[in-house]
Amino acid sequence: MYDGYIVVNNGAGEHVKNGKKYGVFSMIYSTNRKPVKLWKKLSLEVADSGFAKADTTWNMKNVCSPYSRIYYIPEGEGTVILQGREIPLRKGHIYLIPAGLLYDYRCDEYMEQLYFHVNITMPNGMDLFYGCGEIFEKGAPFGRQEKAVKLYWSSHMEDAFRLRGMLWEELGDFIKMAGIQEEGMKCYSEMVDQVFALAQKPVSARNHVRSLAASLHVSESTLSKRFRGETGMTPGIYLEQLMLQKACRLLIHSDKTMAQIAEELEFSDQFYFAKFFKRLMHMPPSAYRRQMRENERDGLENRHGTDNF
C-alpha cells in the first residue's frame, strides 16, 4: 500500500515523499498551464467544408470572407490573385487564406480541392488570422493529402477527431508562418477585457465608445487611450470590425432579409445598415450576399457540406 501527496507551486514541480508502513511513494510533478489556457481561450469553428472539382468557371473577383479558408489540393492547379500578384494553388500543397483578405481566384483547367472554412475565435470575438495580409502555403508530406480526403469521407467518430487534429496541426504551422504565436497568449487589463465582453453581448450598432465608457465609469479618452495602447487599434475601429464580421456571417449563412439582419444588429433601419456595410465593403450587403453565394456554388462539382465533417 502506498500513500503520498504532491505539492504544486505556480507550475513548478516539487519532489515530495511520504513514508508509511508499507513503503515510500515518490513522484516529481510539473505542469505547463499555457496549452490549457489557450484551449480555453481559442475556439475552432468549421463553418463549411467540402471536396470539390473545379473547372474554368471557378472564377471570382473581390472575394472577402469572414472566415479563413484551408485548401488541400490533391490534383490540378488554381490561382489566387492578391494585390496583382498571382499565387498558384499547386498539387500536393496546403494553403490558408486569412479571414478579411481581399483577393481574386480562378482555375484555368482543372483542380480538386478539399476545403474548410474555419474561424479561430479569440476572446475579443475576432478571428486569429484577421488582418494577416498574406496567403500562406506549406508542402504536404507524402500521403497527407490522401489521408485528409480519406478521413473526410469516413463516417467513423474517431476519424472525425483525427481530421480535426490534422486541421489544428495545419493551423499551428500557419500561425508560425504568420508570426502570430503570441497573439492568443496576450493578457489585457481588466478594462480592456470588459470592453471585449460588453461589445459581444450582443454585437450591436448601439455599442459606441461613449456607451462603453459610461458602463465602465471612465472617460472616453481614458478608455480610448488604454484600448489602443493594448490592442493597437481604436475601440471605434474594433466595434466596426466586430459588427462587419457578424454582418458578413449572417449574410452568408442565413436566409434572413436585409431588414431582419438590420434589426438583429440593432440598426435603426435597413437603410443605415446598408450604408454602414457599403462604407466598409464598397458594395451593398445584397450584392455581397449574392457574390459570396455564387462564389461557393460556381465551378464546383461534387461539393459536400459540413454534414460530412
CB 70 within 8 A of CB 114: no
The pLDDT of residue 129 is 94
The pLDDT of residue 26 is 64
Helices within 101-234 (DSSP H only): 144-153, 157-178, 190-199, 209-216, 220-231
> Does residue 45 share a domain with residue 12?
no
CA proximity to 202, closest of 231, 243, 234, 238: 243
Written as nine digits, the cell of 19 is 513514508
Rg (alpha carbons) of the chain, rounded to whole number: 24
Residue 264's domain is classified under what CATH number?
A: 1.10.10.60
Is residue 299 one of the residues assigned to a domain?
A: no
Q: 158, 179, 200: which is the final residue of a domain?
A: 179
> Does residue 125 share a domain with residue 172?
yes
> Does residue 135 share a domain with residue 64?
yes
Is residue 200 one of the residues assigned to a domain?
A: yes
> Does residue 15 share a domain with residue 48?
no
Q: Residue 285 and residue 248: Cα distance in Å, rounded?
A: 8
Is residue 300 one of the residues assigned to a domain?
A: no
> Does residue 279 share a domain with residue 229?
yes
The string of pLDDT tens digits covering residues 112-158 is 999 999 999 988 999 999 989 999 999 999 999 999 999 999 999 99
The pLDDT of residue 140 is 92
Is residue 306 one of the residues assigned to a domain?
A: no
> Does residue 158 share a domain with residue 231?
no
> Does residue 166 share a domain with residue 102?
yes
Q: Residue 32 and residue 180: Cα distance in Å, rounded?
A: 20
> Does residue 129 share a domain with residue 254?
no
> Does residue 89 share a domain with residue 132?
yes
The pLDDT of residue 182 is 73
Is residue 280 one of the residues assigned to a domain?
A: yes
User: Domain of 24?
Assistant: 1-31
The pLDDT of residue 31 is 82
Is residue 278 one of the residues assigned to a domain?
A: yes
State the pairing for strand pair 103-106/23-28. Answer: unpaired
> Does residue 246 share a domain with residue 288?
yes
Q: Residue 66 and residue 280: Cα distance in Å, rounded?
A: 13
Residue type, position 68, single letter: S
278: which residues sit within 8 A by CB, 6+ positions away?
284, 285
Residue 87's domain is classified under what CATH number?
A: 2.60.120.10
The pLDDT of residue 181 is 73
> Does residue 174 share a domain with residue 47?
yes
Q: 144, 179, 214: which is the final residue of a domain?
A: 179
Q: Residue 207 and residue 210: Cα distance in Å, rounded?
A: 8
The pLDDT of residue 27 is 73
Q: Residue 207 and residue 191: Cα distance in Å, rounded?
A: 16
∠ Cα 146 148 150 (to 5°): 65
Classified as helix, coil or strand, 101 is coil
> Does residue 219 share a domain with residue 237?
yes
Q: What total of structural domains would you count in the chain?
A: 3
Written as nine digits, the cell of 31 is 505542469
> Which residues in the chain land under pLDDT 50?
1-4, 6, 8, 14-17, 298-299, 301-302, 304-309
pTM summary value: 0.82
Is residue 70 one of the residues assigned to a domain?
A: yes
